[in-house]
Structure 1
Amino acid sequence: MSIDPRAALTALTTALEEHLVAASARRGEEDPIVEATFLGIIDAFEVYEEALFDAFDEVTPLVIYGGDDEDDYDDGDDDDENSDAEDSEK
């Protein structure tokens, strides 16, 4: 059963608002409430993205990435830097 994209969007907006509230009341560097709402955004976004695709064969321009995975965010400059270094060695 597909989820209505409008309902999924509402859940995503709610998750973003909850994260804002938690962030504004942060209690320390690793506040578990902030972390939970952060993860809630990820979950809500994935549901929205799936609902949007199921209903309209469409996606958003947004990507979820993690701070530990450097491969998740690649601006493409690494290859240019490597080729410049190789050129200068020749």
Structure 2
Amino acid sequence: MSIDPRVALSSLTAALEEHLVASASRRSDDDPAVEAAYFGIADAFEVYAEALYDAYGEDLPLDLLDTDDGDEDEDDEDDDDTGGGEGGGR
């Protein structure tokens, strides 16, 4: 059973508004309310993207950032070292 894209969009909009409120009233750098709102946006975005695709075959022009990409950044640096570009540093 798929979700109506309008309902999913409404949930995404609400999640964005909740994040704004939490950010504006942040009590510390690691405020749990802001973190929860952040993940609420990510969850609502995924639901909306799936509902939009299921209903209309349409993709969004946005992707969520994967904050666990530490290894990918290291791979990119390794590729730069072996690419034979300028300033190889050898």
Please, what TM-score do these two structures have when normalized by structure 1? 0.79
Partner of 2:68: 68
2:83 partner SS: helix
For 2:15 and 2:39, the matched residues in 1 are separated by: 9
Match of 2:53 in 1: 53
Q: 1:7 to 1:79 in 2, by over 3 A?
A: same
Show structure 1 runs of 4+ deviating over 3 A: 78-82, 84-89
The match for 1:16 is: 16
58-67 or 13-22, larger mean C-alpha shift: 58-67
What count of residue pairs does the alignment treat as equivalent? 87
**Which sections of structure 1, spanning at least 5 residues, go unmatched?**
none
Residue number in structure 2 paired with 1:40: 40
Q: Among the aligned pairs, what percent are the same residue?
A: 55
Opposite residue 37 of structure 1, the aligned amino acid is A
For residues 81 and 63 of structure 1, do their structure 2 counterparts lie closer, same or farther at Cα, with a shift above 3 Å needed? Answer: farther
The letter of the residue matching 2:7 is A
Task: Show CA shifts across 1:52-74 (max 9, x none).
Answer: 00000111011111333143x8x
Tell me the secondary structure at the aligned position of residue 55 of structure 1.
helix
AA partner of residue 46 (structure 1): E
- Compute the TM-score of the two structures, normalised by the length of structure 2: 0.79
Separation in 2, partners of 1:58, 1:81: 39
- Could you tell me which runs of 5 or more consecutive residues in structure 2 were left unpaired when the two chains were aligned: none
Deviation at 1:85, TM superposition (A): 3.2
Query: What is the root-mean-square deviation of aligned Cα atoms in Å?
Result: 2.7
